[in-house]
Amino acid sequence: MKRDRWKEKDGERWMKRDRWRETDGEIWMVRYRWREMDEERWMERDRWREKDEERWMERYGWRVMMHGYR
């Protein structure tokens, strides 16, 4: 969800007052959006790793348990 508060009429008033906080917030939003995308990518990767580990367990069983091969 993208909030275009700067488009609102009374937005100009708080833009002047909180401009530094707004730009800060923008930077953080972008950074956080990227982090969320990263986490999604990591979730996918983890899901694959789990599938891999299941395959490994089926193939090597106790050896995986003993040595913790990934």
pLDDT digits (tens, 9 = 90+) for 16-55: 655 556 566 666 666 667 677 777 777 777 777 777 777 7
Give the domain ranges of the chain.
Answer: 11-67
Tell me the C-alpha distance between 24 and 32, whole Å: 12
Q: What's the pTM value of the predicted model, to 2 decimals?
A: 0.25
- Can you give the pLDDT at residue 37? 73
Tell me the C-alpha distance between 30 and 20, whole Å: 15
**What CA–CA distances, in Å, run from 13 to 17, 26, 53, 68, 70?**
7, 18, 56, 59, 56
Q: Please name which of 19, 20, 18, 26 lies closest in space to residue 2, comparing C-alpha atoms.
A: 26
Higher pLDDT, 68 or 44: 44
Residue 1 has pLDDT above 50, yes or no: no
DSSP state of 20: H
